[in-house]
Amino acid sequence: MSPLLEVIGISKQYPGVLANDNISLTVNKGEVVALLGENGAGKSTLVKAVFGLVRPDSGEIRIKGEPIIFGDTNGIIGRGVGMVHQHFQLVPVMTVAENIVLGDEPRRGMLLNMKKARAEVKALSERYGLDVDPEAIVEDLPVGMQQRIEILKALRKEVDLLILDEPTAVLTPQETDELLTVVRALATQGVGVVLITHKLREVMAVADRVVVLRDGKVVGTTSPKESDEEGLAQLMVGRDVVLRVEKGDAHPGKPALTIKGLVVRDDRKLKAVDGVDLEVLSGEIVGVAGVEGNGQRELVEAICGMRHREAGAVLVNGIATEDMHPHSVHLAGISHIPEDREKHGFVSTYNVADNLVLNQFDQEPFARGWIRNADEIEKNAESLVEQFDIRTPSIKTSTGALSGGNKQKVIVARELSQDLHVLVAAQPTRGVDVGSIEFIHNQLVAARDRGAAVLLVSAELDEILSLSDRVAVISRGKIVATLDAKGADRAYIGRLMAGLHD
């Protein structure tokens, strides 16, 4: 019998980049293949080619032995290829059953047959052991459950090959484990699964084979038995990577950032931060661990003066900061690496030099009275580009043209080069390549060692655990526990994140 999917020597040249360079790969029935690679390694081009959305320059793709035709996406789906997107494609206000049958609805005459739809969903969920309530409204369900609905949606179409695109990005550790169990169960039932990811732990846990992509090439095909996380990381990046951050002991001093009884509402006017008390000492890193959407964003925005504090106070070195006034908060000594760097981190049409002085352009030495001091701004930029290894054609290049990692380095350079009491870093390495992650991590530790109080918010538990000295777990807007990062138990923190505190 021919394999489910055969990719034979696919190449795709885009202007300036060879996105896929002679890639070959097979997926058999009942097999889990992990596609591992950094951002830009060519994973998504390959998947698009499988769905007929990208025409390869050379090579061939076969599904169950039959070559695919470029552009025939619906035909390819009809041959049993399903995809679960990273961003859920669900209608929040509709029920689970409605979402699953959308596009191929059971009917009774002209009308919808919702009774049959619910029965179908029940049968489907029993067959694959994925428990869901067909009548629940999707927006009321936790993310892990929503993903289960996505998988059921794909399975309803009798898929033989299921492609999961970064499926664990938004899950708690427990939900991730559950998903991996499901993936294994699907494979046992004969489904071939392609798992696209850059998380090594998952690959080790679930894959039968691992295909590592780098710069558009397959740089290695291995299995978890023959390799380990360090080895995979090295293949992925092309050099040795230190997965654990090397850092000495913290030498905490006085409280630098004090948060007292903070209450903040989100855009929907719901209480997102519900009475948070937190203290960060100078010379330590406190990591805020939590599933995304549990108030982290609102907490950070309120600290930085970007969102109204309904109650409570934020103090720097014992002095209260002003509500809803980012500029005065900044002057009080809080630096901020924002979560949404494109929106809050820099002005993409400004050049690198201007962005590097974005929050101090009006101060000495970058201004003399009302007049900008171009020489000083350039001198500053030259030295920071050097010091922070920002890869840019010149300091006059507009910042929007840089890669994600270098954009982030511009922000990190600006914030860390200033006289620093408190650093609030929100998702500082999101969407950043592994090399830059390492660099940014080291910079955060260096800031700590210079005596800054660092509040780190991240959706990656591994990042929190390896960087922080103390971990504060946030769940539904409350800090449910604060513990020492040294020797902290992942599973226990995971349970706290999920809101299951004892």
Partner 1 sequence: MSQYLTKRNFVFLGILATFAYFYHKDGDVTTSVVSTAVSFGLPLALAAMVGIMCERTGIVNIGIEGTMLVSAFAAFFVSSLSGSLIIGFIAAVLVGLLAGLLLALMAVSWRMDQIIAGTIINILATGLTSFLFKQGHTLPDAMPEIDIPGLQSIPFFGPVLFMHGPITYFGLIFIIFLWVALFHTAWGLRSRAVGEHPGSADTAGVSVIRLRYLNVGLAGLIGGVTGAFLSLELVGSFERGLTAGKGFTALALMIFGRWNPLGALAAAMFFGVAQAVTNQLMIDQVVNIPQQFVNMLPYVLTILVLAFAAGKVRPPAAEGQPYEKEQA
Contact set for partner 1, span 80-99 (CB under 8 A): 83, 85, 87, 89-94, 98-99
Binding of partner 1 by 153 (CB under 8 A): yes
- How many residues at the interface with partner 1, by CB under 8 A? 28
Question: Which of 111, 318, 369, 370 contacts partner 1 by CB under 8 A?
Answer: 111
Q: For partner 1, which is the closer residue by CB, 164 or 337?
A: 164
Binding of partner 1 by 47 (CB under 8 A): yes
Binding of partner 1 by 103 (CB under 8 A): yes
Look at residues 330, 306, 295 and name the one whose alpha carbon lies nearest to residue 473: 295
3-state secondary structure 319-334: EECCCCCHHHHHHCCE
- Cβ neighbours of residue 375 closer than 8 Å, sequence gap 6 or more: none
- Pair 45, 12: CB distance under 8 Å: yes
CA angle 478, 202, 84 (to 5 degrees): 85
Strands 58-63 and 5-14: antiparallel
Question: Which of 77, 205, 331, 358 contacts partner 1 by CB under 8 A?
Answer: 77
Three-class secondary structure of residue 44 per DSSP: helix
Q: Cβ 53 to partner 1, closest distance in Å?
A: 6
Question: Which of 1, 15, 16, 104 contacts partner 1 by CB under 8 A?
Answer: 104
Segment lying near partner 1 (by CB under 8 A), choices 101-109, 126-134, 198-206, 326-334: 101-109
DSSP strands (E only) in 4-129: 5-14, 17-27, 32-37, 58-63, 66-67, 81-84, 107-108, 111-112
Rounded CA separation 69/190 (Å) = 25
Segment lying near partner 1 (by CB under 8 A), choices 14-22, 71-79, 331-339, 441-449: 71-79
Question: Which of 28, 62, 105, 133 contacts partner 1 by CB under 8 A?
Answer: 105
Q: Cβ 228 to partner 1, closest distance in Å?
A: 33
Task: Annotate each residue in 183-222 with x if it binds partner 1 (CB under 8 A) or - if it does not, as one string.
Answer: ----------------------------------------
Amino acid letter, residue 403: S
Binding of partner 1 by 107 (CB under 8 A): yes
Rounded CA separation 64/161 (Å) = 10
Binding of partner 1 by 74 (CB under 8 A): yes
Q: Cβ 316 to partner 1, closest distance in Å?
A: 37
How would you class 225 by CB atoms within 10 Å of its CB: exposed for 0-12, middle for 13-18, buried for 19 or more? exposed
Rounded CA separation 302/310 (Å) = 9
Binding of partner 1 by 350 (CB under 8 A): no
- Cβ neighbours of residue 238 closer than 8 Å, sequence gap 6 or more: 214, 219
Q: Cβ 264 to partner 1, closest distance in Å?
A: 21
Q: For partner 1, which is the closer residue by CB, 94 or 143?
A: 94
Segment lying near partner 1 (by CB under 8 A), choices 73-81, 178-186, 296-304, 449-457: 73-81
Token pair 């049993």: residue: 80
Q: For partner 1, which is the closer residue by CB, 107 or 490?
A: 107
Q: Cβ 438 to partner 1, closest distance in Å?
A: 30
Rounded CA separation 331/423 (Å) = 13
Residues of this chain that bind partner 1 (CB under 8 A): 47-48, 51, 53, 73-74, 77, 83, 85, 87, 89-94, 98-99, 101-105, 107, 110-112, 153
